[in-house]
Amino acid sequence: MSFKIGTRGSPLALAQAHMTAAALKQAHGWRDGDIEIIIIHTTGDKVQDRALAEIGGKALWTKELDAALMDGRIDIGVHSMKDVETLLKDGIVLAAMLPRADVRERLIGASSIASLPQGARVGTSSPRRAAQLKAKRPDIQTEILRGNVATRLAKVESGAIDATLLAAAGLDRLGQSVGSLIELDEMLPASAQGAVGITARDGDAETLARIAAINHHPTFDCVMLERGFLAALGGTCHSPVAALAVLEGEGVTFRAQILAEDGSEVQEGGFNAALHEAPERVRDLAAELLGRAGPSLRALFTA
């Protein structure tokens, strides 16, 4: 048997594929030879000089992996969940998630957002991060910065930019203990940040059963609520959104923000609810925030 795991070729993507392989070996008693990791080159990896939203959005990370799934070259695809489109391609299902890692950001180049120099140039390809920074520091200049973690760190090191923000989870998975942690009260993360997701073919019962054995249900439940919030908003890659669900006992605490691209308006809210009530509460919160938003902010989601 050779169970084929599809992944992008970046160091972080490969680390996450190996995490998935290790979980499958532990769950099923498989050996190294039972699993094959197959690198799929994606458009998102090839085009590095423009924002994702300008060249096709999150599908640039997933469409080649989806195609490999559908034609049988791989059995599963492994993804950073925040890169997975809210609506999956027909025939593809989100089958499992690994335990979520740290959801916070790390600021590289300064000890805090407040300590960034006046007019600092901060590199990021995330509309959410850019909007959150500008909401706190309107003087900050944001520039498009894409590429793998090493590329982004090198830009700060060389002085090409003053600072950047990276997900703590990705840095931790690469063994990089750099930068300063930004607490959640200061910067709420992207929906699904810190989670690794596994996609499979709909109806592939054997594969789905194998993957079910490594699904971390608390992570899955929280991330699906956050993705439900995005779906209820109707946003795109252009739309700055933050959302975080945290299980507490039998219930869930949910917090979310929508922001104008320049940070000039921020609408936020949240709730505590029983888990079975949360999907409806998520939809209500999306409607509430859109209802409060000014015309230009609302247009980012309802156009």
User: Measured between alpha carbons, how far is 193 from 1 in angstroms, rounded to an integer?
Assistant: 33
Lowest-confidence pick of 61-75, 95-109, 188-202: 61-75
Domain that holds residue 243: 229-302
pLDDT of residue 104: 97
pLDDT of residue 177: 84
Looking at the predicted structure, is the pLDDT value of residue 61 above 80?
A: no
Banded model confidence at residue 209, pLDDT cuts 50, 70, 90: very high
Looking at the predicted structure, is the pLDDT value of residue 274 above 60?
A: yes
Structure tokens at 275: 């888990």
Total number of domains constituting the chain: 3
Contacts for 83 with CB less than 8 Å, ≥ 6 apart: 44, 58, 61, 62
Average pLDDT value for residue range 56-68: 73
Structure tokens at 240: 């700055």
Tens digit of each residue's pLDDT (9 = 90 or more) over 152-181? 889 998 989 999 999 999 999 999 888 999
Looking at the predicted structure, is the pLDDT value of residue 45 above 60?
A: no
Considering the domain boundaries, does residue 187 fall inside one? Answer: no
Looking at the predicted structure, is the pLDDT value of residue 281 above 70?
A: yes
Considering the domain boundaries, does residue 89 fall inside one? Answer: yes
Residue 147 Ramachandran class (φ > 0 left, ψ -120 to 50 alpha, else beta): left
The number of C-alpha atoms within 13 Å of 235 and in the hemisphere containing its C-beta is: 31
Q: Are residues 145 and 76 in the same domain?
A: no
Closest of 109, 171, 166 to residue 140, by C-alpha: 109
User: Quick count: other Cβ atoms within 10 Å of Cβ 267?
Assistant: 18
Banded model confidence at residue 55, pLDDT cuts 50, 70, 90: very low
Tens digit of each residue's pLDDT (9 = 90 or more) over 80-139? 998 888 888 899 999 999 999 999 999 999 999 999 999 999 999 899 999 999 999 999
Banded model confidence at residue 261, pLDDT cuts 50, 70, 90: very high
CATH number, residue 293:
3.30.160.40
Q: Are residues 19 and 93 in the same domain?
A: yes
Considering the domain boundaries, does residue 148 fall inside one? Answer: yes
Considering the domain boundaries, does residue 189 fall inside one? Answer: no
Contacts for 154 with CB less than 8 Å, ≥ 6 apart: none
Please measure the distance between the N-terminal and C-terminal CA atoms of the chain and give it in whole angstroms.
Answer: 49
Q: Is 44 helix (H, G, I), strand (E, B) or coil?
A: helix
User: Measured between alpha carbons, how far is 123 from 151 in angstroms, rounded to an integer?
Assistant: 11
CATH number, residue 205:
3.40.190.10
Nearest 10 degrees: Cα torsion 173, 52, 299, 279: -40
Closest of 189, 193, 185 to residue 241, by C-alpha: 189
Specify the higher pLDDT residue, 187 or 1.
187
Q: Give the residue numbers marked as catalytic.
A: 83
Considering the domain boundaries, does residue 221 fall inside one? Answer: no
Q: Is 238 helix (H, G, I), strand (E, B) or coil?
A: coil
Contacts for 66 with CB less than 8 Å, ≥ 6 apart: 77, 89, 92, 199
Would you say 269 and 243 are in contact if contact means Cβ atoms under 8 Å apart? no
Q: Are residues 45 and 132 in the same domain?
A: no
Considering the domain boundaries, does residue 284 fall inside one? Answer: yes
**Chain-wide mean pLDDT for the chain?**
91
Q: Are residues 298 and 163 in the same domain?
A: no
Q: Are residues 202 and 88 in the same domain?
A: yes
pLDDT of residue 236: 66
Lowest-confidence pick of 58-62, 104-108, 197-201, 262-266: 58-62
Would you say 232 and 286 are in contact if contact means Cβ atoms under 8 Å apart? yes
